[in-house]
C-alpha cells in the first residue's frame, strides 16, 4: 500500500469500529472538562470519572472552586495521583478564569497553556471537545500507534502531532483523536498486545514491529 492508501485504510477501519465515538471523560461544560483533563494526567479516565463527581458535587464552577481550599481539593482528588500539584493548579486556574475571563474557559492554545498545570495536550483536548476546534491531541496511545503504523518516527509527541496533522484530513482530526485512543486501548495496547486482534497494525504496520512481535511470541526451545 502507498502511504495515502494506508491512511485511508485507517480512517475507514476506525469509522467501521467506532461509528459513534464515546467521550472518555465525564463532564458537563468546558470548565468541568478542563478540570477532568487536568486530573487525568498520569492517571486513568476510569479513575478520574470516579473522582470528578465527588469534586463537582462541592464545586463545578470557578466561583465555587475558589471557595474550597487547596487542601480540601487535594483530599478529594488524592486517588487520581499527583494531588498536591493538581489541587494547586485547579485552584489557581479557577482564580485566573474569574479575574481574566469572567469565569469562562478561553479557546486558544496561548490562553489555555498560560493557566497553571495546563499543558499543550490538555489545551488541545479542551479546544477539541469543548469548542469543536480542530486539534489533534497526542497521548501515549496515539504516539504508540502512529509509530506502529509507520506514520511517524516516534521521536517525540511534537513530531507525532505534526505528522498526524499532515497525514489526516483536518475535518477528521477530532474524531480520529478519540477513535485512535479507543482502538489503542482495545486492540493495540502497550502490554498484553495480541497482533491477531490488531487488524490495522497487522495490515499496514511496520515490518519491524511484526517481526519483533513474532519473536516475542514464538515458543522458546527448552535447553537440557
- List, as one string, the DSSP characters of 19-69: SS---SS--SSHHHHHHHHHHTTTS-HHHHHHHHHHHHHH--SHHHHTTS-
Whether residue 104 lies in the annotated active site: no
The pLDDT of residue 92 is above 60: yes
pLDDT of residue 211: 67
**Domain boundaries for CATH 1.10.1670.10 within the chain:** 3-20+137-217
pLDDT of residue 129: 97
pLDDT at residue 167, as a whole number = 98
Contact 34, 117 (CB under 8 A): no
Catalytic residue among 86, 121, 163, 198: 121
3-class DSSP state of 199: helix
CA distance 131 to 129: 6
The pLDDT of 105-111, averaged and rounded, is 98
Residue 154: its pLDDT value, please?
A: 84
Average pLDDT taken over every residue of the chain:
94
Catalytic: which of 6, 139, 163, 198? 139
Q: How many CA atoms lie within 13 A of 6 on its CB side?
A: 18
- Is residue 121 annotated as a catalytic residue, yes or no? yes
Tell which residue, 145, 152, 141, has the closest CA to residue 199: 145
Mean pLDDT on 181-207 = 96
Q: Where in the chain is the domain with CATH 1.10.340.30?
A: 30-131
Nearest by Cα to 123 from 108, 138, 133: 108
pLDDT digits (tens, 9 = 90+) for 116-129: 999 999 999 999 99
What pLDDT does 121 receive? 96
**Span 169-192, mean pLDDT?**
97
**Residues 131-141: what's their mean pLDDT?**
97
CATH of domain 30-131: 1.10.340.30
pLDDT per position as a tens digit, 206-216 = 988 766 665 45
Looking at domain 3-20+137-217, which CATH architecture does it have?
Orthogonal Bundle (1.10)
What integer pLDDT is reported at residue 76 of this predicted model?
Answer: 98
137-161 mean pLDDT: 95
* pLDDT tens-place string over residues 12-61: 999 999 999 999 999 999 999 999 999 999 999 999 999 999 999 999 99
Give the integer Cα–Cα distance in Å for 67 and 61: 10
Rounded Cα–Cα distance for residues 126 and 68 (Å): 23
CB atoms within 10 A of CB 84: 11
For 85, other C-beta atoms within 10 Å of its C-beta total 14
Q: Assess whether pLDDT exceeds 80 at residue 219.
A: no
The tally of CA atoms less than 13 A away on the side-chain side of residue 8 is 5
Amino acid at each position: 500500500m502507498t502511504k495515502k492508501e494506508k491512511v485511508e485504510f485507517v480512517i475507514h477501519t476506525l469509522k467501521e469500529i467506532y461509528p459513534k465515538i464515546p467521550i472518555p471523560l465525564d463532564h458537563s461544560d468546558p470548565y468541568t472538562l478542563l478540570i477532568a483533563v487536568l486530573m487525568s494526567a498520569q492517571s486513568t479516565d476510569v479513575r478520574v470519572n470516579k473522582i470528578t463527581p465527588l469534586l463537582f458535587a462541592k464545586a463545578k464552577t470557578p466561583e465555587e472552586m475558589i471557595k474550597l481550599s487547596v487542601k480540601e481539593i487535594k483530599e478529594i482528588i488524592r486517588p487520581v495521583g499527583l494531588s498536591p500539584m493538581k489541587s494547586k493548579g485547579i485552584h489557581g486556574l479557577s482564580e485566573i478564569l474569574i479575574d481574566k475571563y469572567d469565569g469562562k474557559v478561553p479557546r486558544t492554545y496561548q490562553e489555555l497553556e498560560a493557566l497553571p498545570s495546563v499543558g499543550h495536550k490538555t489545551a488541545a483536548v479542551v479546544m477539541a471537545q469543548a469548542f469543536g476546534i480542530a486539534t489533534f491531541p497526542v497521548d501515549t496511545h496515539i504516539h504508540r500507534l502512529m509509530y506502529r503504523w509507520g506514520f511517524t518516527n516516534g521521536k517525540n509527541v511534537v513530531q507525532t502531532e505534526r505528522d498526524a496533522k499532515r497525514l489526516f484530513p483536518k475535518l477528521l482530526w477530532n474524531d480520529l483523536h478519540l477513535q485512535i485512543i479507543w482502538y489503542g486501548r482495545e486492540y493495540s495496547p502497550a502490554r498484553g498486545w495480541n497482533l491477531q486482534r490488531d487488524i490495522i497494525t497487522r495490515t499496514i504496520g511496520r515490518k519491524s514491529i511484526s517481526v519483533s512481535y513474532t519473536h516475542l511470541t514464538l515458543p522458546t526451545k527448552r535447553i537440557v
